[in-house]
């Protein structure tokens, strides 16, 4: 599984757009990029997943450059409830590959 | 569609006891994975079950075991509990019927405290 690197922590003010970048230099051809959000004492919640270019859903956007060696999770107009740990994972989206979670990015939203 | 459910949500046991945790996957999901999360070690993979067979296993001692039933529901068991087993135990399920269907969805977890 490809190793990922993301900032340990980030702070942002309410109402701003937050971008969290993840590096995955050794991503493989059949790897997908998945982001999870986790609040304390809760299970990780799936946010978004993509393979290339841009993916958008009701909560976030995921930008993936052509070389796929990095990806950026974009959270529009964050609120206090977006304070959480965000994990970037890279791996094939089929079969029996287990998920490997890194340390994640602890995002703190400031009022 | 209902999400992944785990029971119980909280559990307190003493050293040496054993415990069984239960997980009901999202309807139609065939794969169930278990994870342990602690402040010191983060989120670590325990094992994965698919069609009632253990398909993948992490680096945990044999005290940790699991099984999956024909309806995809899964249980994990920890025998001879140690203080270090105190953790949030998470279950995740996925459809796993082909490419693009292995996105894992997590339950709320079971908080196990060993005294």
Q: What is the pLDDT of residues A4-57, one digit of tens each?
A: 899 999 999 999 999 999 999 988 888 889 999 999 888 999 999 999 989 999
Q: CB distance B55–A49 less than 8 Å?
A: no
Q: CB–CB of B89/B10 below 8 Å? A: no
d(CA A8, CA B9): 29
Of the residues B43, B94, B109, the best mutation for testing chain A's interface (the one with the most A CB atoms within 10 Å of its CB) is B43
Least confident of A36-45, A88-97, B9-18, B40-49: A88-97
Please list, residue by residue across A73-88, b when 16 or more beta carbons sit within 10 angstroms of its beta carbon and e when fewer do: bbbeebeeebbbbbbb
How close A91 gets to chain B, by Cα (Å)?
10
Residues of chain B contacting A45 with CB distance shorter than 8 Å: 106
Q: Does B55 touch chain A (CB under 8 A)?
A: yes
Q: In this model, does residue A83 exceed pLDDT 80?
A: yes
**Alpha-carbon Rg of chain B, whole angstroms?**
14
Nearest residue in chain A measured CA to CA from B56: A96
Start-to-end CA span in chain A (Å): 38
Query: Of B36, B16, B37, B22, which Cα lies nearest the Cα of B79?
Result: B16
**What distances in angstroms separate CA B48 from CA A49, B7, B19, B72, one per listed residue?**
21, 18, 18, 12
Hey, what are B94's tokens? 């996925």
**Cβ–Cβ below 8 Å for A99 and B90:** no
Contact B102/A94, CB-based, under 8 Å?
Answer: yes
User: What integer pLDDT is reported at residue A31 of this predicted model?
Assistant: 85
Model confidence band, residue B56 (pLDDT cutoffs 50, 70, 90): confident
Contacts of A87 in chain B (CB under 8 A): 43
Residue percentage of chain A with pLDDT more than 90:
70
d(CA B88, CA B23): 13
What is the distance in angstroms between the Cα of A32 and the nearest Cα belonging to chain B?
9
Write phi, then psi, for B84 (nearest 5 degrees).
-70, -5
């Amino acid at each position: 599984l490809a190793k990922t690197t993301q900032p340990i922590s980030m702070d942002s003010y309410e109402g701003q757009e937050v971008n969290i970048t993840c590096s995955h230099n050794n991503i493989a051809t059949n790897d997908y990029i998945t982001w999870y959000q986790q609040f304390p004492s809760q299970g990780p919640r799936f946010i978004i997943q993509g393979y290339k270019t841009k993916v958008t859903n009701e909560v976030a956007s995921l930008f993936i450059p052509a070389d796929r060696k990095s990806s950026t999770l974009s959270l529009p107009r964050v609120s206090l409830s977006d304070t959480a740990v965000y994990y970037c994972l890279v791996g094939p989206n089929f079969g029996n590959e287990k998920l490997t979670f890194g340390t994640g990015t602890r995002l703190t939203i400031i009022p | 569609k209902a999400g992944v459910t785990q029971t119980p949500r909280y559990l307190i046991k003493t050293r040496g006891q054993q415990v069984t945790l239960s997980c009901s996957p999202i309807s139609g999901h065939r794969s169930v994975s278990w994870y342990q999360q602690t402040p010191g070690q983060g989120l670590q993979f325990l094992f994965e079950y698919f069609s009632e067979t253990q398909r993948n296993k992490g680096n945990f001692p044999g005290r940790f075991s699991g099984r999956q039933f024909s309806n995809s529901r899964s249980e994990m068991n920890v025998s001879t509990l140690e203080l270090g087993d105190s953790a949030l135990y998470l279950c995740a399920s996925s459809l796993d019927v082909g490419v693009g269907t292995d996105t894992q969805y997590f339950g709320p977890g079971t908080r196990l405290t060993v005294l």
